[in-house]
Structure 1
Amino acid sequence: MTTAFDPIDLSGTQLANRIAMAPMTRSRAHGEGLTVTESVVEYYAQRASAGLIITEGIQPSVVGQGYPYTPGLHTAEHVAAWRKVTDAVHAKGGKIFAQIMHAGRIGHPSIWPDQELLSVAPSAVTPAGQLYTGEGMQDFIAPRELTADEILSVIGEFVHASRSAIEAGFDGVELHGANGYLIHQFLTTNTNLRTDEWGGSVENRIRFAVEVAKAVAEAIGPERTAMRLSPGNPYNDMAEADTEVIYPALVKELEPLGLGYLHVTEVAPGFRDVTLALRKQFSSTFILNPLTEGPTDHEALSLIEDGIADIVAFGQLFLANPDLPARLKNAGPYNPADGATFFGGHDEGYIDYPSL
């Protein structure tokens, strides 16, 4: 019987176990130009016992940034800073993918160096709610609708960031198609009101995700390219009208590309049937960040034994327990996560969680 502690071949990348560190925004890029710091190097190196580390979301452009102090990967300085992270993780025997995240309409001019810029999206639909900025909580503003030519340019930004990731020593990239950010915004009916080839029908709404995946796979190799999805997720004012249709249609188009993995995160209850359908469709490695994750709940590990997932990703548990695979194997004990230090700040609640 396959267990979470068995190795796995991830399209040519050998992983020591089937426990992944899920991507988590931590907002610790305090370096000039939003480069990662030595504390970020230490944070990821501490967690190198994961079979696979997936980084926090990394913006591929200035307006791709959604939150203060999140790191970029679109300049030579970014590449050099991330190289320190990948070298440190590899020195400890770990593997690490960069998550490329364009936030789309989730952003605010006050966090960018040029405050005349506007966030961009498939359509000029303002998200409900507020965003934390360096100047406190502020209302979201209306994004600018991308032109057809600009959509092609944004696809190019994903490609450039992915090439930069490989130059920085990452083992691959995960394209963030979840949680209400740009790729997800193209998929969803309340954020994509377009009537051209990029909106309207299911075929048109999945086009952006498919074209980004195709372009990145061609640039760095499909085995080093992956995508994350979150079916039914309402986060960031998303309202999907056809979850059970759009995701199988998207994965049908992704399947022939030979991607390294598909990563599904279950955020909203009631969508396990969609998860199972996508698992059945996708023949390569399937990573699941399940809704069942919890410090005393080992149902997540049984997902591998039951064949529902090849790899299970953990978020807060990995944040608070840098040696999580060892703790899972021993059924604990687990450090509690300090929610007050999740975002921003410095080393407290970041690199000071103890190992066993």
Structure 2
Amino acid sequence: MTTAYKFLEPYTFKNGMTVKNRVVIPPMTEASSFEEGSITTDELRYFRIHSGGVGMFISPVANVSESGKGFEGQLSITDDRFLPGLTKMASAMKQGGAKAILQIFHAGRMSNSKVLRGTQAVSASAVAAERPNAETPRELTNPEIEQIIDDFGEATRRAIQAGFDGIELHGANTYLLQQFFSPHSNRRTDKWGGNVQKRMTFALEVIKRVHSVVTQYAKEPFIVGYRISPEEIETPGIRLADTMQFIDVLADQPIDYLHISMGYVWRTSLNDETDTEPIILKIKRQIHNRLPLISVGSVEQPADAEKVLDAGIDFVAIGRELLREPNWIQKVESNDEESIRYTISIQDLDELGITPAMWNFLTVRLKSAMHISNQPDYDKGQFDHRLAPHEGA
């Protein structure tokens, strides 16, 4: 008899949309689109393989502006010409009853002139990221900022027309939405920068525009989520006090969930070693039931997922483990947990729909965190108090 796990229970959002369970595939880079951003048949196959069991499937990120491309092989939603492929993508992701959520973003200073084919990257201010070989971006003008806000709106319209069930605004992992909120990347003194309230302005204007587009074009319930990274390690940088103020404002915006991007679901402060309370519990308290929460980070076994639900978190996102085991939910539901795979072999990549480009990305960026069967493994506990190579998965 199947264990009565809370994560198998359905959930109904305030807008009336019901998802069949509380397990989410978080957005994971697969680097497998065509050079100009069109979706490939390899990607469609990957989505079909992994779509079956979960309640929500959040896509790899799509860039909303030509200046917003962050890496090679990235999906684009910058033009209506991408709609036929995006429509196929939404259909593939929804096989088996999952709700298909398209994550959208602008990379900002996390891109470079090579990816942008000779064009300088842009950001809130002309401040380079603190990472190897980072290029200094150009500060966006006011009209350019307004255009990017429009681009987020147009991307949302395309997601609706393509048949997605929602979009997620990628305000995490140091991309442009986060860059405007961060005192490291935003040194502006106009309405887009300054104190913590002014640094929220860009994100709030994007949310406002997206909401107006949903109201105009969506004929049935459509989800708008927001993903956030709670801290930065740069100085100056985002600290938990800033984030709690931002979350307090976000909780009253026209969004349907808040997704907290971390590499370990129970991580404590990166900047205050004396603070031993998990960040996700601080955020839950700050939200005070105004929005559902998605928590992510090194969740693998059913007991790990249930612990998240036991803490009062509404959804649990499982990333790398659902790459290794796309039938994770089905095996739990059929009382077949002993057969769940927790390692991945290079011999399994075709079966799992993982392309060579995606495998290269995973092994270069995540290394032993992928639990590769014939290689040394990693200790996920080492990321209790610091950034992981797999933030958000």
Q: What TM-score do you get using the length of structure 1 for normalisation?
A: 0.85
Cα deviations across residues 256-282 of structure 1 (Å, max 9, x unaligned)?
223111111223731454422322343
**Amino acid across the alignment from 2:268:** G
**RMSD of Structure 2 on Structure 1 (CA):** 2.7
Deviation of 1:301 after TM superposition, in Å, equals: 2.2
**Amino acid across the alignment from 1:180:** T
Q: Does 1:161 align with 2:155?
A: yes
Distance 2:346 2:237 in 1: 32
Deviation of 1:2 after TM superposition, in Å, equals: 6.9
Alpha-carbon contact 1:327-1:334 (below 8 Å) kept: no
Distance 2:150 2:17 in 1: 26
Distance 2:172 2:94 in 1: 27
Q: Where do residues 177-188 of structure 1 align in structure 2 (5 Å cutoff)?
A: 177-188=171-182
Deviation of 1:331 after TM superposition, in Å, equals: 3.5
Give the stretch that moved more between structures: 278-287 or 180-189. Answer: 278-287
Map of 1:135 onto structure 2: none
| Partner of residue 263 from structure 1, selected from 259, 262, 271 | 259
Q: Does 1:287 align with 2:291?
A: no
| Partner of residue 205 from structure 1, selected from 199, 203, 211 | 199
Distance 1:178 1:84 in 2: 27
Distance 2:203 2:358 in 1: 36
Distance 1:224 1:102 in 2: 20
Distance 1:175 1:295 in 2: 25
| Partner of residue 65 from structure 1, selected from 55, 69, 85 | 69
Distance 1:104 1:337, change over 3 A: farther
Distance 1:164 1:193 in 2: 33
Which consecutive unaligned segments of at least 5 residues does structure 2 have?
A: 216-220, 270-276, 362-393
Deviation of 1:145 after TM superposition, in Å, equals: 0.3
Distance 1:241 1:348, change over 3 A: closer
Map of 1:134 onto structure 2: none
Distance 2:226 2:337 in 1: 30
Q: What TM-score do you get using the length of structure 2 for normalisation?
A: 0.77
Distance 2:279 2:236 in 1: 13
Map of 1:144 onto structure 2: 138
Deviation of 1:346 after TM superposition, in Å, equals: 5.3
Q: Identity, % of aligned pairs?
A: 27
Distance 1:110 1:241, change over 3 A: closer
Map of 1:128 onto structure 2: 130
Map of 1:35 onto structure 2: 38
Distance 2:131 2:231 in 1: 19
Alpha-carbon contact 1:233-1:267 (below 8 Å) kept: no
Cα deviations across residues 83-123 of structure 1 (Å, max 9, x unaligned)?
001122334322110000211001122223x42x2111011
| Partner of residue 356 from structure 2, selected from 327, 342, 345 | 345
Alpha-carbon contact 2:29-2:358 (below 8 Å) kept: no
In the TM superposition, structure 1's runs of 4+ consecutive aligned residues that sit over 3 Å from their partners are 238-242, 271-274, 294-297, 327-332, 337-344, 346-350
Cα deviations across residues 32-87 of structure 1 (Å, max 9, x unaligned)?
63111112112112222211000011100121111111110112232210100112
Map of 2:239 onto structure 1: 243
Which consecutive unaligned segments of at least 5 residues does structure 1 have?
A: 131-138, 351-356
Map of 1:22 onto structure 2: 26
Distance 1:253 1:91 in 2: 35
| Partner of residue 85 from structure 2, selected from 78, 81, 84 | 81
Distance 1:7 1:349, change over 3 A: farther
Q: What's the secondary structure of 1:256's corresponding residue? A: coil
The number of residue pairs the alignment matches comes to 333
